[in-house]
Chains A and B, each alone.
Chain A
Amino acid sequence: MSTTEIPSEVTGRVWKIVLDPGAKVDEGDPILILESMKMEIPVEAPCKGIVTEICVAEGDAIVEDQIIAILEN
């Protein structure tokens, strides 16, 4: 088993959390949706696995490179 930390590529705000901890994901599944400069930006699973942690809450401000979710695969 290995752990994958998912960073945000942009500075923005968490608009919607799509999946909760425990959810199974395939590569490309959206985990949460950020909002930055009027754009909704989905954060997708980089690989197959299980979401072990969502590190942010809806409405949180986030910065580039901040870890926003953790997967185990």
Chain B
Amino acid sequence: MKAAVLRELNKPLEIEEVSISKPGPREVLVRPIAAGVCHSDLHFLDGSYPYPLPTILGHESAGIVEEVGSSVTYVKKGDHVITCLSAFCGHCDKCLTGRLSLCQSPEVSRAPEDEPRMKKGDETIHQFLNLSSFAELMLIHEHALVKIKEEMPMDRAALIGCSTTTGVGAVFHTAKVEPGSKVAVIGCGGVGLAAINGAAIAGAGMVIAVDMMDSKLDIAKSLGATHTINASQGNAVGEIIELTKGGCDYTFEAIGLKSTTEQAWQMLGAGGTATVIGMIPVGTMVELHGVDFLSEKKIQGSNMGSNRFRVDMPRFVDFYLEGRLHLDQMISQHIKLEEVNNALNALKTGEEARHIIMFEE
């Protein structure tokens, strides 16, 4: 199969012929139809999150089941599915207490001594987050996908595979935003915009979008932001404290920086909760004023929107089909696999919404 391989940090991905193994008993071979190019892919391309190389990036996709392993009963050839990196084992303490996205069981990937899922000749190609979607085929654990309605367009479905679930999930599950509350979201990339849309669906009273680019703030408004702040034009924290008359009930950091994480904390009113969604580079420390704990502020992380994706993703599909989840304006361009490097470069400048790779059906 054809795949975009990352061999060296900060270098363009190379389109190569890679071989893929046969499904083991609990594995499924998926033919992706659409794959989003997500900002988190960049963190691995630039090494701020180290990953073993060579690897095939991509972790946001939707496709069609091609072949299933001998023990798989949940899906069959031809089913439409969304893939998810939150593969769950189903029997560890995290899974059994309903926190599936925190499952760390190694059994959803192949063991180091097993034949790798992908190879080029004798060389192991490391699977990225148990998915690797910048490729014509994906071999994944049966617990890394969810069936969806066939009427759902594949490019929109792909977004649900990461950015939607991460942003909306952070609002619904991690922070549990209350109707009527005051919410601020810092960063209006795919995940931040999803959080804004999620806050609107959850019934937040005030949804304040913060970004440096007016074009993104315009999209934020169309997704339900009630107020926007361009942070390049002054002190966003001060403006929010004034606008909310004392601070937010919930803030969301959707960039992954020390400075914006600290701002998310500073924007809270007494008793408020800051949720950090962005991926802060490994080794970076975050500083908070200790006295703030007297006002019962809280700060927490959110990974993949604390999802239970087999429940959540079909709901998000329905939200889209009902017109409540706005995915159309999140997509700026459809591209071919060969154009993936342009899409990654466009993400670096931050100007455009998402590029979606479309594979030939």
Contact = CB atoms under 8 A, between A and B. Distances in A.
Contacts of B129: 38-39
Interface of B is mostly: loop
Contacts of A33: 52
B106 A40 contact: no
A61 to B, nearest CB: 10
A41 interface: yes
A39 B106 CA distance: 11
Interface of A: 9-10, 12-13, 15-16, 30, 33, 35-42, 44, 58
B283 A38 contact: no
Contacts of B126: 40
Given A38-B85, A41-B51, A42-B50, 16 more contacts: A9-B283, A12-B104, A13-B104, A15-B106, A33-B52, A35-B104, A36-B104, A37-B303, A38-B87, A39-B51, A40-B51, A40-B52, A41-B50, A41-B282, A42-B51, A58-B112
B104 A38 contact: yes
A69 to B, nearest CB: 15
Interchain residue pairs A-B with the least CB separation, the first 5: A16-B112, A42-B52, A9-B282, A40-B52, A38-B129
Of the four ranges (under 10, 10 to 19, 20 to 34, 35 or more), the interface on chain B belongs to: 10 to 19
A42 B47 CA distance: 11
A42 B129 CA distance: 14
A9 to B, nearest CB: 5
B266 interface: no
A4 B126 CA distance: 28
Nearest to B103: A38
B178 to A, nearest CB: 28
B17 to A, nearest CB: 23
Nearest to B9: A28
A44 B106 contact: no
A13 B49 contact: no
B86 interface: yes
A30 B126 CA distance: 14
Contacts of A37: 102, 104, 303
Contacts of B104: 12-13, 35-38
A68 to B, nearest CB: 14
Contacts of A16: 112
Nearest to B108: A38
A64 B126 CA distance: 24
B260 to A, nearest CB: 21
Contacts of A38: 85-87, 104, 129-130
Contacts of A41: 49-51, 282
